[in-house]
Amino acid sequence: MSVSSRFSGEDVSAQNQVKASVQRKIRQSIAEEYPGLEPVLDDILPKKSPLIVAKCQNHLNLVLVNNVPLFFSVRDGPYMPTLRLLHLYPNIMKKLQVDRGAIRFVLAGANIMCPGLTSPGGVLDEEVGAECPVAIMAEGKQHALAIGFTKMSAKDIKAINKGIGVDNLHYLNDGLWKVWLIYAFLLVCITIKIQVYVVLIFLFFDVVPGINTLTFTFLFLLLI
C-alpha cells in the first residue's frame, strides 16, 4: 500500500474527466477529511474546472486539476494531498514526528516503525486513530517529508512500541513527487508555446516592425 519510487506517467492506465456528480462527491469527501481546506477549496478544486481522475498501477488513483496531481488515494482509501499541496497548506493534516535517525529510512520509502515515533525526538498526537491519513514530520525539519496511513492508533503505537506504526505512502523525491514536476514542466512549456504563437502572429502580420527573418525562424523552431 504505497506509491512506488519508480512511479512514472507510464504507470497511468486510464485518465478521464469525471462527471459533475462524481466531481461533487470527490470535493465533498476531501472537504470532510480536511476541514482546514474549506476556505481555499474553491481555489484548489474550482467547480468550473475539469476534474481528471487517473487510474494507475498498484491501485493508485490521482486527482488532477489543470493537469497537476493534487490528491491521491490507494484502493478505496481516503483522498490524501500530495506533498506539494501539503507544503502549501501544512496544517490540514494530523501530524506525527519521527526522530532524526528515522529520516533516511523514511526518505528511502521504508514504513514508519513505532520506535521512531516514541524515542526522544519523536512526537505522537494521541488523538490520531488507526487507519488515519497523517503528515510525517521529522525532528529539526520544517516541512513534512512523507504522507502516511496509520496501522494503529497513536496510543497503541506508544503502548506496543514495536512493528510498523504507519504505512509510508508518499515521500519526498518518490515517483509521485517527480511526476508533479513533470506535469508542472509540461504546463510551463505549453504556456511558453502559446506566448511564442502570439509573437509569431504579430510578426507575420508585421505588427512588430524591425524583426528580421532569422528571429522569426528561431521562434518557429521553438514550436517544433
Assess whether 72 and 27 both reside in one domain: yes
DSSP string for residues in the chain: ----TT--GGGEEEEEEPPHHHHHHHHHHHHHH-GGGGGGHHHHS-TTS-EEEEEEGGGEEEEEETTEEEEEEETT---EE-HHHHHHSTTSSEEEEE-GGGHHHHTTTPPEEHHHHHSTT-B--TT--SS-EEEEEETT-SS--EEEEESS-HHHHHHH--SEEEEEEEETTSHHHHHHHHHHHHHHHHHHHHHHHHHHHHHHTT-STT--HHHHHHHHHHT-
Burial per residue of 83-119, b for 16 or more beta-carbon CB atoms within 10 angstroms, e otherwise? bebbeeeeebbeebbbbeebbeebbebbbbbbbbbbb
CA distance 175 to 59: 15
Assess whether 205 and 138 both reside in one domain: no
Mark the ranges of the chain whose per-residue pLDDT is less than 70: 1-11, 13, 180-224
88 found inside a domain: no
pLDDT recorded at residue 58: 80
End-of-domain residue from the set 40, 55, 83: 83
CA distance 203 to 213: 9
Assess whether 98 and 79 both reside in one domain: no
Model confidence, pTM: 0.78
pLDDT recorded at residue 209: 44
Domain that holds residue 79: 9-83
CA distance 59 to 180: 18
60 found inside a domain: yes
Overall number of domains in the chain? 3
pLDDT recorded at residue 23: 95
176 found inside a domain: no
pLDDT recorded at residue 201: 53
CA distance 61 to 46: 19
Q: In which residue are the cell numbers 491521491 written?
A: 72
pLDDT recorded at residue 14: 80
143 found inside a domain: yes
116 found inside a domain: yes
CATH number at residue 67: 3.10.400.20
177 found inside a domain: no
Assess whether 98 and 165 both reside in one domain: yes
pLDDT recorded at residue 117: 98
111 found inside a domain: yes
pLDDT recorded at residue 189: 57
